[in-house]
Amino acid sequence: MLNISYERRDVKHLSLKSHKIIYDIIFQMAKVKFTIITLFKDALLPYLSTSMMWKASDKGVAEFNFVDLRDFGLGPHKSVDDTPYGGGDGMLLRCEPVFATIEKVKQEDPTAKVILPTPAGRIWSQQIVREFAEKIETQAENHFIILCPHYEGYDERILTIVDYQVSLGQFVLTGGELPALIMIDSIVRVLPGVLGGENSAIIESFSEGNTIEYPQYTKPAEFRGMKVPEILLSGHHAKIKEWRDAHQRPSL
């Protein structure tokens, strides 16, 4: 029986056969569920129902669910927002509908973690992607509730039920739907079985360097005076590997 360890010293030196065994086991475990709380489900559906996201869903690697925040709105108009105390522009998401929505989801799965896209959060990066993927592959965490804010922002008290605050960068978007899609895509694509290769965030994150891939080319060998490097056309695999190693870009 293979003793699987996720520490660098154990995984790095495993044989290809052992990597394959780990991959097969991880593939059985790496299943993730995203519950997206949004006012604009129709903005998310087209992307999550095409290409690799559809493939991940079809293969049972990822599950996408939606909860309409408006269903938990207040009053006859199902209001979810109001003006800020102290004055100011725009509208803020109210606590009541947000808490009610998240608590409803957590009734079914108390282990679910809440992610809030916010400019004040940790800047999203490939390192964070790997952290989430490793949680999923080890099943430490496998259900994430993504709250998509809209309008001017949200009542600060909402942060008390948030587990992860993340940001795409130093800019502001209209709502949290685009960040939600980017986070989901970047996580799901590195899970085993999604892209077709035997990739694993666990194995990948312990490989040397974690550099961005080397430059790649396809036919034609020359286009408008721009030529593919001769070494790549040589068929000399050792030399090609040397060239690729030398041309890897800095780490993400």
**Average pLDDT for runs of 10 along the chain of length 252:** 32 43 45 96 96 93 96 95 89 95 97 96 95 93 95 90 96 93 96 72 52 83 93 94 86 56
Give CA separation, 126 vs 116, 185, 186, 212, 226, in Å. Answer: 18, 12, 8, 10, 31
Q: Both 72 and 42 in a single domain? A: yes
Q: Both 26 and 67 in a single domain? A: yes
Residue 50 neighbours by CB distance under 10 Å? 10
Q: Is residue 74 part of a domain?
A: yes
Q: Both 187 and 243 in a single domain? A: no
Q: Is residue 217 part of a domain?
A: yes
What would the two tokens of residue 143 be? 């259900």
Q: Is residue 175 part of a domain?
A: yes
Q: Both 221 and 195 in a single domain? A: no
CATH number at residue 225: 1.10.1270.20
Q: Is residue 128 part of a domain?
A: yes
Q: Both 147 and 246 in a single domain? A: no
CATH number at residue 153: 3.40.1280.10
Q: Both 197 and 222 in a single domain? A: no
Q: Both 59 and 28 in a single domain? A: yes
Rounded Cα gap, residues 120 and 167, in angstroms: 7
The parent domain of residue 85 ranges over 8-203
Q: Both 120 and 238 in a single domain? A: no
| Nearest Cα residue to 147 out of 131, 134, 132, 158 | 158
Residue at token pair 């994150």: 205
| Domains of the chain: total | 2
Give CA separation, 41 vs 36, 130, 133, in Å. Answer: 8, 27, 24
Q: Both 62 and 164 in a single domain? A: yes
pTM: 0.80
Decide: 32 and 142 in contact? Cβ < 8 Å: yes
Q: Both 66 and 186 in a single domain? A: yes
Which pLDDT value is given to residue 212? 67
Rounded Cα gap, residues 23 and 34, in angstroms: 23
Amino acid at position 171, single letter: F
Q: Is residue 1 part of a domain?
A: no
Q: Both 71 and 131 in a single domain? A: yes
Q: Is residue 163 part of a domain?
A: yes
Q: Based on C-alpha coordinates, what's the Rg of the chain?
A: 22
Q: Both 85 and 113 in a single domain? A: yes
Amino acid at position 207, single letter: S
Which pLDDT value is given to residue 90? 87
Which pLDDT value is given to residue 22? 42
Q: Is residue 155 part of a domain?
A: yes
* Residue 35, burial from CB neighbour count under 10 angstroms (0-12, 13-18, 19+): buried
Q: Is residue 3 part of a domain?
A: no
Decide: 66 and 36 in contact? Cβ < 8 Å: yes
Domain boundary among 203, 224, 240: 203
